[in-house]
Amino acid sequence: DIQMTQSPSSLSASIGDRVTITCRASQSIGYSLNWYQHKPGTAPKLLVFAASNLQSGVPSRFSGSGSGTDFTLTIHSLQPEDVGTYYCQQSYSIPLTFGGGTKVGIK
Amino acid sequence: EEQLVESGGGLVQPGRSLRLSCTASGFSIGDYALNWVRQAPGKGLEWIGFIRTKGYSATTEYAPSVRDRFTISRDDSNGIAYLQMNSLKTEDTAVYYCARDAEWFVRFYYKAMDVWGHGTTVTVSS
C-alpha cells in the first residue's frame, strides 16, 4: 500500500497569510494526487485533482503543485472560511489512501 | 444540484450487520463508480472500497481492513448504492460517506472523488 504523509498536522495563521501544506507519498505516484477540504459536519470538498488542477468553483487562492513523491497545497491568502482540515489522497493504486490531515486554524 | 445522501446508520452490537444506502439525485448514478469512505472519531479519512460501473461489470475493490466483511453493491435503476457491513467490530465506529468517482483526461486519465454526501454515523457498541 502507498503511504501518504502530510505535514504539518496542524497550523494557525493570520488572515491574508500564505499557507503551505505538504504531502509525501511512499513511492512515486506521478501526478495522481488529490486535495480535499473537510469541515466538521459537512461533506468533504474536492479542491485539486491530478496534483495541480483546480476543481470547478474552487477559489483561485488555492493551488497545488508537485509530482512523483512530493506535493504541495498552497492557500495564497488565508480567509476565515478556509478553516478546516485538509487531506491529500493518492489515486495511483488500490487501496486508495489519504494523508493524515492538516488542521488549519486562524491566529 | 448533484447530491448524494447516505442513510441507514445507527447503533449496532459487535458481530451484527448493518446496511447503509447512498441515494443519488441530480445525476445518473449508473454513469459513475462510487466510493465509500469513513472517518472514525478523532481520526482522518479512510477509503474502504468502491464499485465500478456496470460497463466494468460492477466489480468492486476493498481496503484490507474491511475485505471479507463489507460488500458494496448498486441498484442503478433506483439511483442507490449500498454498503453491507457484516461481523461489525467496535473499530468500525465512524461516520460513513459515499463519494462519486470522477475522471478527467489531462495527458492521462486521473480520478478523484468530486461529489460527497454528508455522511451517516455508525456506532458499534454493546
Gap from B108 CA to chain A (nearest CA, Å): 9
- B9 is written with which cell numbers? 446508520
pLDDT in tens, A73-107: 999 999 999 999 999 999 999 999 999 999 999 99
- Output the pLDDT for position B30: 96
Residue B23 has pLDDT above 90, yes or no: yes
Q: Chain A residues with CB inside 8 Å of B103's CB?
A: none
Gap from A104 CA to chain B (nearest CA, Å): 14
Residue B62 has pLDDT above 90, yes or no: yes
- Output the pLDDT for position B125: 97
Banded pLDDT at B106 (limits 50, 70, 90):
confident
What residues form DSSP beta bridges with B80? B23, B75
To test the contact with chain A by mutation, choose from B25, B45, B96 the residue with the greatest count of A C-beta atoms within 10 A, namely B45
pLDDT in tens, B1-15: 999 999 999 999 999
A90: helix, strand or coil: strand
Q: Give the Cα separation of B85 and B91 in Å (integer).
A: 13
Cβ–Cβ contact A99 with B under 8 A: yes
Q: In chain A, which among 56-95 make CB contacts under 8 A with chain B? A: 85, 87, 89, 91, 94-95
- B104 is written with which cell numbers? 478527467
Gap from B50 CA to chain A (nearest CA, Å): 10
Residue B36 has pLDDT above 90, yes or no: yes
Q: Give the Cα separation of B5 and B78 in Å (integer).
A: 13
